[in-house]
Structure 1
Amino acid sequence: ESWADQADWLQPTFHECDWSEGISCIQDSAGHRIVKQVDLSNNSLVGTLPSELKLLSQLDYFKVANNSLDGPLPSSMFELATLAAVDVSNNGLSGSIPASINGSPDLSLLDLSRNIFSGSIPDNLY
């Protein structure tokens, strides 16, 4: 692993809220901790973004700018109703921009710049 800050990351004995300082969580009324924000920018990340991001059902902020990520942008992450901000700028993400990108009704910030996406911009982004 070449991440700049990987202490406790993906450790089965740690809750995902404890994986990194870049993970912000809230506590619901039942006392469960819920991931709300992920900011792993400038962290030397490599590889692809996992489709499992959609399992972070209350995620509202996702930022992984300035890394070395590649591959496609997972369309499943835009199924998250609470997602308000996505910044994946300055990586090596490729493929087409998913048509589902406007599936998050609260999405107000989207930065896909400085990647190598191909194809046309989905009509629902105009």
Structure 2
Amino acid sequence: MTPVPPTVSPTMPPTTVPPTMRPVSLSDLLPSYSKLALVDPASPQSNARTCIWVEAHPEYNAMGGWRKLQLFSLVTIYYAMGGPVTWSENTRGNWLDATIHECFWPETSPNCVDNQSYQRLKFDGDGGIVGMISPEIGLLTLLTSLELERWAPFKPDGGLTKSIPTTIGLLTALSTIQISNNPFTGFIPTEIGLLTLLSFLRCGSGAFRGPFPTQIGLLTAMEYLYFAASSMTGTLPSELGLMLP
């Protein structure tokens, strides 16, 4: 008996209609810590998501995934640092203005590479910055300068508290960190040792505690290191010798 060949399903001719492009969903892009924070409707992350939806940014649906993450990160930072409540008018500037590219929110000069990817986050003085650095700062992966220094180290209120998020280790392009005169608590994260391009680190007059992280010794590009008037304990690690030329 001659075997019957297997039946092959007919091949459909290729369609000439282009597939529908579904916009990249923010929920699909967010890291797990952001998704967890969204459970709380009062969190900075939830406020940021609501703000982006309500403002109906004219370019939002056409944005690529990286730009949606950048926008979400900056709006979350705004809420986490007291933007709608404590910021001065000068500090608030153009923040959350959906008609202006986020590169121009803090000031009229751009803070981005080629007016696209955020490169510099700067708040000087005492313009009402309070709260915490949200972990979403780690989404600004091309950031080269983080400047959150206050002018009044002994002012009883205001400033940034809690710990520096471990996601700072994702900002491998950072060359400058200035965060002095903020009442930070907790430890300096060991992930700071991942910032191999860091050359300027000023963290004086804070409330950091615990030992000096040995990982800072890995930062061989360091030129300026300042931790005066902090609450850190213990001896300086021998690894600091690795920073010497």
CA contact (8 A) 1:23 1:38 kept: no
Asked if residue 16 in structure 1 is aligned to residue 102 in structure 2, the reply is yes
Q: Within 5 A, what are the aligned runs for 1:1-126? A: 1-4=85-88, 5-21=91-107, 24-27=111-114, 33-42=116-125, 43-66=127-150, 68-125=159-216, 126=240
Q: How many residues align?
A: 122
CA contact (8 A) 1:25 1:37 kept: yes
Amino acid at match of 2:213: P
Amino acid at match of 2:113: I
Instruction: Give 3-state SS (helix, strand or coil) of 2:196's partner.
Output: coil
User: TM-score scaled to structure 2, two decimals?
Assistant: 0.47
**Normalized per residue, which structure has more helix?**
2
Amino acid at match of 2:189: P
**Normalized per residue, which structure has more strand?**
1
Query: CA RMSD, aligned part only?
Result: 1.8
Cα distance, 1:18 vs. partner?
Answer: 2.1
User: TM-score scaled to structure 1, two decimals?
Assistant: 0.87
| Structure-1 residue corresponding to 2:34 | none
Identify which range, 8-17 or 48-57, moves more after superposition. Answer: 8-17
What 5-or-longer segments of structure 1 have no aligned partner?
Answer: none
